[in-house]
Amino acid sequence: MNPLQWVAAAWRRRVTPPDAQGEYTTGWLPRLVRDEVARRLAGKTGTLLDAGCGEGLLFGGVCRAAAGLDIVGIDPWEAILRRSTKRIEDNGYGRVRLARADAMALPFRDGTFDYVACANVALNLPDKAAIAAMLAEAVRVARPGGYVFVDFRNRLNPLIRVGYMLAPLHDPELKVLVNSYRPDEVAGMFPAGSLSGLSLTGLGMGLGMLSPVIFAEAVKR
């Protein structure tokens, strides 16, 4: 383990809650995003799609914040869905069900969900075209007046830019790309004419649009 890997691993352990230790999608920024999704869903009812649910780390916070939500989690990877299934069973998340599916080709009818969350997904997609395809599907399966939540790592933040450049050196488990985008690029990735509202919020460090995370909340027309 090189010094960068040692420092990164120590930091991840420090900022990762006990129930997420040992999972891949850990660390401060992924947790920040999951906490923000749970905060925005607090007290809500209806249906939520967690598009790209991974190990199911979003479920706990959302189930505590919005006990009346019915949740569907999808991911294309069978191995990671098994980890998510175990988390659901171990914690008794009775209103959560899983399906194996691709966020860019969702097997649901138009307007199925009240809320769609794409949490900690965009940074691992290869380019803006792939993100646009994911967002088109997320908006399609949201009902009119429904909400889509998605986050982006902020390229304007120098720590993000340098950290992602060095990612292969400090993250030995990295198997996919990590990408960041400027705030002015985000709106253009949503399907044109499909939204009645879009707000962008900077998460982390209190730096506004220099924050490490850009959190987008879109309302379907």
The label of the residue with tokens 């905060």 reads 39
- How far is 124 from 86, CA to CA, in rounded Å? 24
Q: List the one residue out of 173, 154, 121 whose CA is nearest residue 164.
A: 154
- How far is 203 from 117, CA to CA, in rounded Å? 16
* Per-residue pLDDT in tens (0 to 9) along the chain, 221 residues: 666 555 555 555 655 666 665 666 678 899 999 999 999 999 999 999 999 999 999 999 999 999 999 999 999 999 999 999 999 999 999 999 999 999 999 999 999 999 999 999 999 999 999 999 999 999 999 999 999 999 999 999 998 887 776 665 546 555 556 899 999 999 999 999 999 999 999 999 877 889 999 999 999 99
Tell me the pTM: 0.89
Please tell me the predicted confidence (pLDDT) of residue 5. Answer: 57
Residues contacting residue 117 through CB under 8 Å, at least 6 positions apart: 37, 48, 49, 50, 51, 58, 148, 149, 150
Name all domains of the chain by residue range, CATH numbers in brackets.
32-220 (3.40.50.150)
- How far is 119 from 169, CA to CA, in rounded Å? 24
- CA end-to-end distance (rounded Å), the chain: 50
- How far is 195 from 135, CA to CA, in rounded Å? 11
Q: If you count them, how many residues does the chain have? A: 221
